[in-house]
Structure 1
Amino acid sequence: MTDRYADRRSALFEELPESVETVYVAPSETLRYLSGLSMHQSERPTLLVLSREAGPAAVLPELETDRAADALGDDVPFYTYGDATDPTRAASEAFDRLAADRALSGEAAVEFRSTRVLEYTLLTDYHDPESIRDLEPAAAALRARKDESERDSMRKAARISDRVLQETFEDIEVGTTERDVERAIEKRVIDSDADGYAGGIVTAGERTAFPHANTGDTEIEEGDLVMIDFYIRVDGYFSDITRTVAVGDPGEECRDIYEVVREAARAGREAVAEGVEYQELDRAARQVVDDAGYGDYFPHRLGHGLGLEGHEPPYLVEGNDATLTVGNAFTVEPGVYVDGVGGVRIEDDVLLTEDGAEVLTETPRDLRVL
């Protein structure tokens, strides 16, 4: 049986320039991806150290060794430090021991987005800052190609999201508040096989014109649109879904906006194919919105990558001329938001497989009037 994490670590170096000799990974979803070790960032510096020539090692607090050994195995050397003194100084001393054993020097890579100054400064005595590269492009390229196990986790997450959402529709009526709806979703997620509820937004009435407003205490009135957007995780992998429904007749303008968004979402999904540029998906959906005269009311990109993070590369946005490859998973979520009227967003999770586009979320996209 192959070690999926060892295979990923080997593949990571294939994505990097040959001049990069050492990779440092701070607590992040990339750490989880490369090792199976899930750790939150704290005041205690932590680094997984990868090398072309040697096996992995880690600098971490003593109290995390059992957890790290469960993920990395007992044969990985740990350079630990105690928790009864200044953790920054103690971690630096542990890193010095590692550096002496490994003769650290030359070019290195760290993920700029997730590596804090707290960890970064451990490296600079041994690597010229000018020689430290950003790991994220290489890590993102790997993480964007979901294997079958990852795909199955995302399929399960989408099935749970669909069920939770459709059951929650039955709770929505005049007088229900936005917060009531989100709490109903969260309770159902907690009672499901998901890892847990990862966040969401529920807005009603004119507040649906704000794409990322916080869920509030606004009561739903007759004729209101209600926008529901939420995340869950299964085995660490995200599902992200949005549907907009109406409580009673929302009126002609809102129905028109809804149909524009529904057609834009369809166009975006239908454009998915191997070798297509990500920006072409955005263009396909945006053209529908532009042609309907609502171009100024679609203020965000079409979608984002999905996996161990709710938002990760690739991004479906103008200017991204990278092309879709098998294993990519992402959202397609056009929206139109008109102040004083309301807004509509329809979001689905899409996976590109060897057989083409697989839409993971299946909740119907026709306007549902409750």
Structure 2
Amino acid sequence: MTATARLEISRAEHAQRRGRLAQRLQDSGLSRICVFGPVRVAYLTGFHFAATERPVALVLSDAGDVTMLLPELEAEHYAHQCPDLPGPLTYPEYPGGGSGRHPLTVLADHLRTAPPGRVAADHDGYENRWGYRGPALSALLGQPIVDGLALIDDLRMIKSPAEIALIREACRWGDHAHRVMQDAITPGANELMVSHGASLQATRDLLAALGDRYVPKAREGLPANTMFISGANTAHPHGLHRNAGVQPGDVLVTGAYGVVGGYESELERTMHVGDPTPDFERYFAAMLGAQDAGLAALRAGRTCAEVEADVRAQIEGLGLTHLVRHHTGHAFGLEGHEHPFLDLDDHTVIEPGMIFSIEPGLYVPGLAGFRHSDTVLVTEDGAERLSLYPRDLPSLLIPVS
């Protein structure tokens, strides 16, 4: 990806993805697959859209032929994003727009005109969202639907050079957003105001730096985002914001990420306002050691479960297993969480090109939570941390005067 290229996946790469999926259909004895998940549709076509109650579906044949089911209101949007693909199959509106036909019956009629064969799908019908109700695809076709979710998502596990470049750029802006936020945190500062203000400033910086190379892929959210929660609330892994000011002695658990070409990064840090207590320093060091163990363990050829086992052994050696609330990490890319997971029951073999978060946490009830998270790329000979924000305690202290 050159310095002047638009920061997005090319049409040629989308075509390659569809070609690989078509080959997997052939290898599995499947004639076609229906793809309902919005992120999977975007992964295979480059069509990014606001997912609502109106069904959108991609039908891909074993020969690589594409049919897209869309509400009429998305047809022009689709043509703008995907001029290389055939015109869509449309319906007037959900649940029918006066046609007397549910949108999925339009899809089923199309499938019935195709040559007979086994049909797969990532879901047996459109996902229930925004009030949607509709029949199962299997019921409409009168035949079983093969679970084809893994056919697509296994392709998504290993990132291409273009995907890695986008995530690397997203990490750069996640790091920047975190720095803007950290510099703005002072005693008395409101969590919400600082978090949103820093996200907006970092987004301004990103847009100024990248110009028209930056291509938004969503209607909502900002390209650069950061936030934090504080105090004993951090003992909850997914604690909510408080409408309160930061106080000396507070522990902060932060999050920051960029979104570039639809791809996300992940960065989290544990911070302290003022001089840390001995208890804080002890738990911080334990958390950092656990993350170090995860970074050292992530290697091609190992399994996700083996990485988690190494991290758990590190924590168990400190007698702190009772403070663990979640697994060590997860893959991500177009979504904040993707398959596979660094978990004792996930035996997926790790391969070069996979990208994971490494984020073991320790949660001390009544005191605080302790968690760093970094974006890490698996390479041929090890692992590379793509989020480069400081991890050491002196760099993560908020001065009180």
TM-score (norm 1): 0.91
Quote the residue 1:241 is aligned against. Answer: 267
Question: What is the rounded CA distance, in whole Å, between the counterparts of 2:155 and 2:77 in structure 1?
Answer: 25
Pair 1:87–1:319, CA change in 2 (3 A): farther
Question: What is the rounded CA distance, in whole Å, between the counterparts of 2:125 and 2:362 in structure 1?
Answer: 32
Q: Deviations over 1:308-336 (max 9, x none)?
A: 00001111101111111111011000111
Quote the residue 1:144 is aligned against. Answer: 157
The CA deviation at 1:167 is: 2.4
Which aligned pairs between 1:193-342 and structure 2 lie closer than 5 A? 193=207, 195=216, 196-197=222-223, 202-342=228-368
CA contact (8 A) 2:226 2:254 kept: yes
> Which deviates more, 67-76 or 360-369?
67-76
The CA deviation at 1:261 is: 0.5
SS in 2 for 1:180: helix
SS in 2 for 1:170: helix
Quote the residue 1:6 is aligned against. Answer: 15
Alignment partner of 1:186 out of 199, 215, 218: 199
CA contact (8 A) 1:278 1:322 kept: yes
CA contact (8 A) 1:231 1:238 kept: yes
Unmatched segments (≥5 aa) in structure 2: 1-9, 208-213, 217-221
Pair 1:18–1:214, CA change in 2 (3 A): same
- Letter of the aligned partner of 1:328 in structure 2? M
Pair 1:119–1:304, CA change in 2 (3 A): farther
Question: What is the rounded CA distance, in whole Å, between the counterparts of 1:93 and 1:341 in structure 2?
Answer: 55
**How many residues matched?**
367
CA contact (8 A) 2:257 2:264 kept: yes
Question: What is the rounded CA distance, in whole Å, between the counterparts of 1:349 and 1:96 in structure 2?
Answer: 41
Are 2:119 and 1:108 aligned? yes
SS in 2 for 1:187: helix
Alignment partner of 1:346 out of 357, 361, 372: 372
TM-score (norm 2): 0.84
Pair 1:75–1:233, CA change in 2 (3 A): closer
Quote the residue 2:136 is aligned against. Answer: 121
Question: What is the rounded CA distance, in whole Å, between the counterparts of 1:241 and 1:88 in structure 2?
Answer: 49
> Which deviates more, 152-161 or 107-116?
107-116
- Letter of the aligned partner of 1:124 in structure 2? A
Are 2:173 and 1:164 aligned? no
Pair 1:200–1:255, CA change in 2 (3 A): same
The CA deviation at 1:135 is: 2.1
Question: What is the rounded CA distance, in whole Å, between the counterparts of 1:199 and 1:166 in structure 2?
Answer: 11
Quote the residue 2:56 is aligned against. Answer: 46
Question: What is the rounded CA distance, in whole Å, between the counterparts of 2:149 and 2:226 in structure 1?
Answer: 26
SS in 1 for 2:268: strand
| Structure with greater proportional strand content | 1
CA contact (8 A) 1:55 1:76 kept: no
Alignment partner of 1:66 out of 67, 76, 91: 76
**Identity across aligned pairs (percent)?**
29
> Which deviates more, 236-245 or 37-46?
37-46
CA contact (8 A) 1:26 1:119 kept: no
Question: What is the rounded CA distance, in whole Å, between the counterparts of 2:125 and 2:223 in structure 1?
Answer: 23
SS in 1 for 2:193: helix
CA contact (8 A) 1:178 1:216 kept: yes
Question: What is the rounded CA distance, in whole Å, between the counterparts of 1:203 and 1:81 in structure 2?
Answer: 45
The CA deviation at 1:354 is: 3.2
Quote the residue 1:369 is aligned against. Answer: 397
Q: Deviations over 1:11-53 (max 9, x none)?
A: 1244455222110112411111101011232222221111113
- Letter of the aligned partner of 1:95 in structure 2? L
CA contact (8 A) 1:228 1:242 kept: yes
Question: What is the rounded CA distance, in whole Å, between the counterparts of 1:203 and 1:35 in structure 2?
Answer: 37
> Which deviates more, 258-267 or 216-225?
216-225
Q: Deviations over 1:174-227 (max 9, x none)?
A: 111222331233213431247525876522121111110111213221121111
SS in 2 for 1:125: helix
- Letter of the aligned partner of 1:187 in structure 2? L
Question: What is the rounded CA distance, in whole Å, between the counterparts of 2:329 and 2:176 in structure 1?
Answer: 22
Pair 1:114–1:314, CA change in 2 (3 A): farther
> Which deviates more, 342-351 or 87-96?
87-96
> Which deviates more, 84-93 or 157-166?
84-93
SS in 1 for 2:33: strand
Question: What is the rounded CA distance, in whole Å, between the counterparts of 1:190 and 1:113 in structure 2?
Answer: 39
Unmatched segments (≥5 aa) in structure 1: none
Pair 1:158–1:198, CA change in 2 (3 A): closer
**RMSD after superposition:** 2.4
> Which deviates more, 64-73 or 251-260?
64-73
Quote the residue 2:4 is aligned against. Answer: none
SS in 2 for 1:246: strand
Q: Deviations over 1:72-100 (max 9, x none)?
A: 43651422122382578252453255235
Question: What is the rounded CA distance, in whole Å, between the counterparts of 1:18 and 1:154 in structure 2?
Answer: 32
